[in-house]
Amino acid sequence: QQPVQSPQAVILREGEDAVINCSSSKALYSVHWYRQKHGEAPVFLMILLKGGEQKGHDKISASFNEKKQQSSLYLTASQLSYSGTYFCGTEWSARQLTFGSGTQLTVLP
Amino acid sequence: NAGVTQTPKFQVLKTGQSMTLQCAQDMNHNSMYWYRQDPGMGLRLIYYSASEGTTDKGEVPNGYNVSRLNKREFSLRLESAAPSQTSVYFCASRADRAPYEQYFGPGTRLTVT
């Protein structure tokens, strides 16, 4: 079952923060986050495993609330290069990811 | 180190024609995947292969067949193309160790008229 992402789109100014949410109705083993720029392939950002850990990657971090089956992606002090579509991929069956419909992030100068 | 490669990059087919999309990875990964991406939508899994010699259906397998030729190559075949199969197709492979990321190929843009 496809995870639900919110918001569908967000527009920021450089330096502003954003949060993208991903929720699933199924018990999850892990959550992946990917970014896709227009006309390109998705690129891996990070994976959150069961256990509710928070991970960071430069100024992009994420958390996973196992009880709620929710993950959030945090982008702080956004840069122009952060623009793109962000997808969460949820894993509840071995080695298979189910992707959300994406959040389109636009960072303006 | 090329990562995941796909051919062709673009293809136009007429309804009823057949074709095979090729995918190869040079990272020695066991798991490989085929996804389709339609405008404004996420990636939907067509088929996957957890190891050489095994394949399993994903979310949208109808109208497609796959072959895991060896550990490197995983092909997707459309036997009788339909306009509903117009999409961008991505092949991916997945690392066998943490952080288990998926690497995607550049995609094939397929139009069926």
Look up residue A42 and give its amino acid.
P
**3-state DSSP assignment of residue A29:** coil
Say if A2 is an interface residue toward chain B (CB within 8 Å): yes
Q: How confident is the model at residue B98 (pLDDT cuts 50, 70, 90)?
A: confident
Structure tokens at A12: 């920021």
Contact present, B58 and B47 (Cβ < 8 Å): yes
Question: Backbone phi, then psi, for B12, in 5-degree steps?
Answer: -120, 125
Say if A97 is an interface residue toward chain B (CB within 8 Å): yes
Say if A84 is an interface residue toward chain B (CB within 8 Å): no
Least confident of B4-8, B38-42, B56-60, B73-77: B38-42
Q: What is the pLDDT of residues B54-64, one digit of tens each?
A: 999 999 999 99
Chain-chain contact of A44 with B90 (C-beta, under 8 angstroms): no
Q: How confident is the model at residue B33 (pLDDT cuts 50, 70, 90)?
A: very high
Chain-chain contact of B101 with A95 (C-beta, under 8 angstroms): no
Say if B40 is an interface residue toward chain A (CB within 8 Å): yes
Chain-chain contact of B45 with A44 (C-beta, under 8 angstroms): no
What distance in Å separates the CA atoms of residue B33 and residue B6, rounded to the nearest whole number?
12
Mean pLDDT per block of 10 residues along chain A (109 residues) reads: 93 96 89 94 89 70 88 94 95 82 96
In total, the C-beta contacts within 8 angstroms joining chain A to chain B are 52
Chain-chain contact of A98 with B90 (C-beta, under 8 angstroms): no
Q: How many CB atoms lie within 10 A of CB B91?
A: 28
Q: In what order do the strands lie in the sheet with B64-68?
A: B4-7, B19-25, B74-78, B64-68
**What's the start-to-end Cα distance of chain A, in Å?**
37
What distance in Å separates the CA atoms of residue A103 and residue A88, rounded to the nearest whole number?
9
